[in-house]
Amino acid sequence: MEWTFKSDQPIYAQLVEQIRLAIVSGDFVPGARLSSVRDMATEAGVNPNTLQRALQELERLGLVYSQRTAGRFVTEDTALIAQEKKAIASARAEAFLQAMQKLGFDLEEIITLLRENKEEEHGDPDM
């Protein structure tokens, strides 16, 4: 997993987002054990406390749960994950829509553009 941070948002919030994304996109599978706080923190290059805060937030969201001595685990509540996935997708769609409209494209033009891009992909299926 790659960890990159922007400077205009708290690191812990970005950690929440990135882990949330990793969970809903299946990079972290339901029920899987996460690395220890210390290890993940080292890997991400942040202080363990900062990562701890992010994980607590994710726990509040129900996406992970912790077991005292065994470690932290991704939730097995696939319905919740699906719901989060929908929420993230919807947020992205909205942001994309607004950006494209700012550029002067209407919905049908955007859809056309997407279809064109999709077709280009066919010529390069491994990407």
Partner DNA sequence: GTGGTCTAGACCACC
Partner DNA sequence: GTGGTCTAGACCACA
| Residues lying near a second copy in the complex (CB under 8 A) | 4-8, 24-26, 85, 88-90, 92-94, 96-97, 99-100, 102-105, 107, 110-111, 113-118, 120-121
Stretch that binds DNA, among 22-30, 38-46, 82-90, 111-119 (CB under 7 A): 38-46
Contact map string, positions 2 to 21, toward DNA, x by CB under 7 A: --------xxxx--------
56 interacts with DNA by CB under 7 A = yes
Q: State the minimum distance, in angstroms, from the CB of residue 125 to DNA.
A: 29
| CA angle at 81 for the pair 57 and 48, rounded to the nearest 5° | 30
Q: Does 49 bind DNA (CB under 7 A)?
A: yes
Q: Find where tokens 């882990």 sit.
A: 19
Task: Please say whether the beta carbons of 46 and 10 come within 8 A.
Answer: no
Its sign, for the CA torsion 4, 8, 11, 13, is negative
68 phi and psi, to 5 degrees? -30, -65
